[in-house]
Each structure stands twice: as C-alpha cells, then as structure tokens.
Amino acid sequence: MTAQRLRSIAPFHVMALLARARELEADGRSIVHMEIGEPDFTTPAPVVAAGIAALQSGHTHYTPALGLPALREAIAADYRSRFGVDIAPGRIVVTPGASGALQLLTALLVDPGSRVLMTDPGYPCNRNFVHLLDGEPAAIAVSAAQGYQLDAATLRAHWTDNCVAALIASPSNPTGTVLPRAAMAALLDAVREHGGHLIVDEIYQNLCYDQKPYTALEFGDDVFVINSFSKYFGMTGWRLGWLVAPQAFIAPLDILAQNLFLAAPTPAQHAALAAFQPDTLAILEQRRDEFRLRRDYLLPALQALGFVIRRAPEGAFYLYADCSCFSDDSFRFAHDLLETAGVAITPGIDFGSNAAETHVRFAYTTSLEQLQLGVQRLAEFLQH
C-alpha cells in the first residue's frame, strides 16, 4: 500500500503524449515537438569544459549542503551586476534544480493543513510539493485580464488564517506572462500585512523579450526567490538551481538540505562557475534572441489559425492558447493532433482546472523550421 497522499498527486498528461510521440518516432513518423519544457540548445561549451575539468580534477565529493562557496559568491555577483541588488552570498542556497529549492521551501514553511496560494494555471509540481507535506495547495483561478498572475487584491480576497505563503512564477509557466514591478511590490506588501511569506519562482527571469527583467529581491530581504541553471543557462540535465532566503532561515534550510539531498551535484556546481563568464553569457544572449524570433513567428501564426491568445507572452518559451473553437477537450485535442498530424503539444489540464479543457500550451523549444512545419501541419489538421 502506498501512502494516502499519493492519491492527490496527479501524473503529467504530457508525459503520456511524449511517450507516444517517441513510439511514433521509433516507427519512423516525423514529430514536431512543441510539448517540451526545456531548451533544445545544449549546454554552452565553456560550461561543458568546466564540468569536464572538474571531473578530471577529482571534484567528485560532496560540497557543503548550502553549496560551493565560490558558486554562491558568483550568483551574488550576478545579482549585483545584472540587477544592482546586493545579496550576501550567505543567503544563497545551491539546490538540485529549482525543484530542489521548491521542496526545501515547502518543507521549511508548510505544516499539515497550511495553505499555500498559487495560480491556476500554474506549474503543476507546486501543488504536489504542498500535498507531500499534507498542506493545502490553494490554486486561484487567474484570468488573462490579470495577466494570469496573482495580484494583491486577489491575494487579499483568498488569504485565510491557515495561509502561510503565496507562490508565484514570473515569467510564468504555462503563460509566459510577467508580473509588473509595481504589482510585485504590492503583492509583497499584501503578504506582509498578513504575516505570510512570498515565494517568487524566477526560473524564466532572463528569458524576457520585451522588457528588462527584474528580481523580486529588489523589494526587500524578506522575499524568497527561486532560480535555476536549467532554462536560460541550458543545463536542465545537470540538476542545479538555487534559492535566496532571508538570513534567519538559512540555518534551518542548511539542516533540511543536509537531510534531503546532502548537497547539489558537485561537478554541476563547478561547471556552473563558468555560466557567468562573458563568453558563456554572449552565447546565452544569442539564444535568447533566437527564442524571441521564435515567439514572434509563432504567436501571430497560431492566431491566424484561430487559436485565441489573450495575453501575449513576455517571457519563458511558452504560448498558452484557447483552443475552444476546435475542441473543449484539450487532452483529446492534443492526442488527435499527435496521432493525425505528428505535432506534440501540452493539454491545459496539466496546469490546473481553470478553463483547462479549452487551453493548450505550445513550447517554442524547437527550431524555427520545425515550428513552421508544425504550423503547416496544424493548418492541415484543423481543416479536417
């Protein structure tokens, strides 16, 4: 018998679609992948070289649970140079991906019965991390008019005595929308009024296309911020991320990290030291420009096909589209599109239950040529 809480933990439907897509490919079918939430680019060469050098130099033992001191300093220096904020390296915890950071923070803040406010649609694992601790994820339906983000008024309307935190992502997955700076400051104020905590997942921070990115750390030392080497840095498989916490929480986070995973992977931490070098950053900025080109192609192309995208994404690499003029069953739609046309996308039901049956997510994590092929196949599929 498995534990009861597993009943509240849903699988990713997109995984079944991905498995089917791989089966079709093994049978010789060509598939356009617009379901995958990771960059198609491989890790930049200077980072790979630093990883190889680390392995060859014998950097294969545990690091301190909070992370390699040099990496914590490099992350702090990046906050200073990119955003002009001074973060003591001692407030940075290096984790196995943003996933590790999310697990640490929920373990830190959630008691059985504690509520954590989050958005619907939103990143699906968040509610499961809260479930794992027997807390109550409160997924608040957010609309396109709200930029699919949690604002201060909505937070106040949903805050209850057992709420301990609000967890948002900006830019968001699956909508790519950014919470404007003033709205972030107001949200933090509203959380403070209630004596709660604000957790901001900034994993897509440097994949912003229309404006200069900012960090919620600009608004105070009491906010918890999560980030990762996965997306912008192209290091998904290295499993490396970080969090920034108020100083008072570092000692308990150290204890949790020691117990939950001892430390983040050592070769990955050494490799990441090269992630902030000018030659790496030049590669990453080029890649961001490529993502912007893809978005600028795909957004109007999908709209021309009849998908309704009420909020143009400003960041990440996703487009969240209303497909109700074609189907009111997003899983069936994604399934049929894959089987008939060889195009893989993610059904809205993976991101919550707010109009999830009438939405799908397109990821532009494949080349422009593949996106063009995907749009051509979609056009043919929708004509039938």
Q: Kindly list the residues in this chain that would bind ligand PLP in the complex (CB under 6 A).
A: 37, 97-99, 123, 169, 173, 201, 203, 228, 230, 236, 241
CB of 195 to ligand PLP, least distance (A): 26
The least distance separating ligand PLP from the CB of residue 177, rounded to whole angstroms, comes to 12
Give min distance, CB of 228 to ligand PLP, in A.
3
Give whichever of 87 and 167 is closer to ligand PLP, judged by the CB atom. 167
Nearer to ligand PLP, 244 or 375 (CB): 244
Q: Which is nearer to ligand PLP, 97 or 213 (CB)?
A: 97
In the sheet with 318-322, reading across from the earlier edge strand, the strands are 318-322, 359-363, 346-347
Closer to ligand PLP by CB, 43 or 228: give it.
Answer: 228
Instruction: Using the minimum distance from each CB to ligand PLP, give the nearer residue, 284 or 375.
Output: 284
Give the integer Cα–Cα distance in Å for 149 and 166: 12
> Nearer Cβ to ligand PLP, position 191 or 240?
240
Q: How far is the CB of 57 from ligand PLP (least distance, A)?
A: 26
Considering the complex, what minimum distance in angstroms separates the CB of residue 381 from ligand PLP? 27
| Residue 165, both tokens | 């935190």
Beta bridge partners of 155: none
> Smaller CB distance to ligand PLP: residue 115 or 231?
231
Residue closer to ligand PLP (CB basis): 79 or 123: 123
Q: Which residue is nearest to ligand PLP (CB)?
A: 97
Q: How far is the CB of 225 from ligand PLP (least distance, A)?
A: 12
CB of 201 to ligand PLP, least distance (A): 5
CB of 338 vs ligand PLP, minimal distance in Å:
20
